[in-house]
Amino acid sequence: FSYDITSALNDWGEMNVVAVRCDNSEEPNSRWYAGCGIYRNVRLICTQESYVVYDGVYVTTPRVEEKSATVHVEARVAEGPFGEHRVVFGILDSEGRKVAEAEAEHYGLDESEMVLNDSEYVGQWSSDIELASPHRWDLDDTYLYTVVVDVYAEDKLMDSYSREFGIRTIDWNADKGFFLNGEAVKLLGVCLHHDMGCIGTAVHPRALERELMIMKEMGVNAIRTSHNPPAPQLLDLCDRMGFLVMDEAFDMWRQPKKEFDYSKYFDNWHERDLRAFIKRDRNHPCVVMWSIGNEIPEQRGEDGDGISLTGHLVEILREMDDTRYVTSGCDAVFPGNNLFRSGALDGFGINYHPQMYDSMRVWFPDKRLIGSETASSFNSRGVYYQPSSDVERLSSYDEQYQRDHANQCNGYDALCAQWGNTHEEAWKAVRDRDYIAGTFVWTGFDYLGEPTPYWWPSRSSYFGIVDLAGFPKDQYYLYQSEWTDKKVLHLFPHWNWSPGDSVDVVCYYSQADEVELLVNGKSVGRSAKTRDMLHAQWLKVPWEPGKIEAVAYRDGSPCARTVRYTAGKPVSLKLTPDRQRISSDGYDLSYVTVEAFDAEGKPVPTASDMLHFTVTGAGELFGVDNGNAADTLSLKGCNKQLFNGKALAVVRSLKGERGTAILTVSSEWGTASTGIRVR
């Protein structure tokens, strides 16, 4: 949102104080950790009397063909106390070269913008611009154009406003799913909350970029911004990195989920907030569908409020943008759902209930369908309870399970929420149905809050495919084997057990026909995944110290192998920065992985020793983590235990200081340091 503060300013030469405050005293106001205070950027924008208003440019591409495209540009311009105004639209290619230009036509005034911008006149300007040989935006070719809006008053340039956009076509077919630029694309997505682990919720582009890079490597091509408008920097990154986005507006409407949540403000604020949300995000090519809500309580009930509100919100949305599909994440999967009954949604988002996909197809044969939230599987990285084969479904906050398992969840794909499914179950249901356009797994990363199935001392979730520190759990490689063309051979669990133990061994793999397991060189047999079992497995393997090895075969010949060793006590630490050089802007980050090794150089997968972190030189310690959802030591402190052999340190540069930031990590049995160049 924005405010025009011109009329409140003191005269030149006098002091002006601009104060922006956040009152977050009413708690709880969210079902997860939303952050406290102002955690997105605040900007002071200075203009001349005539200017393009905030988020006042809207770009669409009503016609896209191979040889040419029509780019329609609309701009809202606050016209100051001058005579003639003239607005010129220019289009630049990705190299900054002007490839098209047009004089805009004035088509009226926008009274709502006059109020918001404290202006007597806000003119609406538009033009259709023909662009030859358009370069399309795609997942693997994220080409972006820039529209430049030049505002002239009496031939004097008053403002020059630029905005990136992409040219692409989308189609969502009820039978065959989603199409991007005419090609079928299964949405392989995850839901992401907006916190960034140990550095909190204050928006940080590098933290978001790292998250998306980890997701991209897994095979993710789509993001659902659950359950609120994202930071604009996330959409900028999705534009550049190649993700499709379900952009979500609300987690509740009038009916509350928590005592002090947005329902208190919905009636007075939802229309302004929804319009601002759409205006801000509608130029991003990555955004392909809008979600007007998540598991809205108004789905149920006979009063019709859900029906009328759905129609009302969709009407506002279509007025602001009619180029994308509108959906909502629904967990009331039956024909009486008020959002379904409204007839206003382009497609139905189905939260969980894969067993109802075929029924939804019968009830709504012409309606587009997507798995807007799937799985809800619980996992702790590196924790393995035997046996692995029996799937458990737990209700929220299971006290018995908490006592029995010390606030940890099974690392095998064998534990999920009562309302959810294992990862394999959820994916197979989407994979086998063309009419389900895709999936958004709950969740890509663990996040702060909602520590289901536990409560304190757990303080973050167990749903993530990747833990809070950014370390992949084993199921990461399940998705990588199913969603990418990479050669995958991931063997688990570790091989540090006790005499008499029997261990279930699992392997996710791709580009092979079968996998053989060897224990200290002796074959335990070969196993192959099937259409119903997406892994190789060997159950109740007797443990003996040494090593296990997985050998993948294709056409009868070995094509890949991987090993897990029995490790001894930890004696050394290894520090691995994700970036050896960072900027001296006081904002840039390097994420450093800390791992424990034994005397023979083998990683110790069970190490849990306490570590102490210090940073000297041109940087500072910005956060520490280990991925343990039940670790109560501060994420902003300088002490953190290893969790199953790993920990994380985040180093931030100091503004204006060039040189080297030295991270030193010490334990009772070893110390290690690494240097990060700051320029």
Query: Catalytic residue numbers?
Result: 295, 373
Spatial contact of 455 and 630, defined as CB atoms under 8 Å apart: no
Tokens of 370: 């997507």
Torsion of CA 225, 227, 233, 238, to 10 degrees: 0
Q: Answer for the pair 374, 426: CB distance below 8 angstroms, yes or no.
A: yes
Decide: residue 561, CB within 10 A, 0-12 exposed, 13-18 middle, 19+ buried: middle
Q: Nearest CA to 374 among 449, 294, 429?
A: 429
Angle at 515 between CA 509 and CA 518, to 5 degrees: 125
Which residues, 6+ apart, have CB-to-CB distance to 583 below 8 Å? 653, 678, 679
Contacts of 18 (CB under 8 A, 6+ apart): 5, 44
Task: Kindly state the tokens that stand for 369.
Answer: 């369908």
Question: From the CB of residue 462, how many other CB atoms can be counted at a distance below 10 Å?
Answer: 29
Cis preceding linkage at 493, omega within 30? yes
Q: Which residues share a beta bridge with 173?
A: 177
Pairwise CA distance, residues 545 & 564, whole Å = 11
46: Cβ contacts below 8 Å, ≥ 6 apart: none
Question: Would you say 506 and 512 are in contact if contact means Cβ atoms under 8 Å apart?
Answer: no
Joined tokens for residue 387: 């046996």
Tokens representing residue 72 in the block: 């329609």
CA distance readout (Å), 421 to 392, 407, 461, 643 = 10, 20, 16, 26
Residue 126 near residue 149 (C-beta atoms within 8 A) = no
Question: What CA–CA distance (Å, rounded) separates 116 from 99?
Answer: 34
| 208: exposed, middle or buried (Cβ count in 10 Å: 0-12, 13-18, 19+) | buried
Instruction: Compute CA distances 253 → 24, 238, 667, whole Å.
Output: 19, 27, 50
Neighbour count for residue 657 (Cβ, 10 Å): 14
Give the whole-angstrom CA distance, residue 463 versus residue 445: 7
Which residues, other chains included, contact 562 with Cβ-Cβ below 8 Å and sequence gap of 6+? 489, 490, 491, 549, 550
* Omega before residue 443 within 30° of 0, cis: yes
Picking from 585, 510, 519, the residue whose alpha carbon sits closest to that of residue 550 is 519
DSSP class per residue in 535-585 = SEEEEEEEP-SSEEEEEEEETTEEEEEEEEE------EEEEEES-SEE-SS
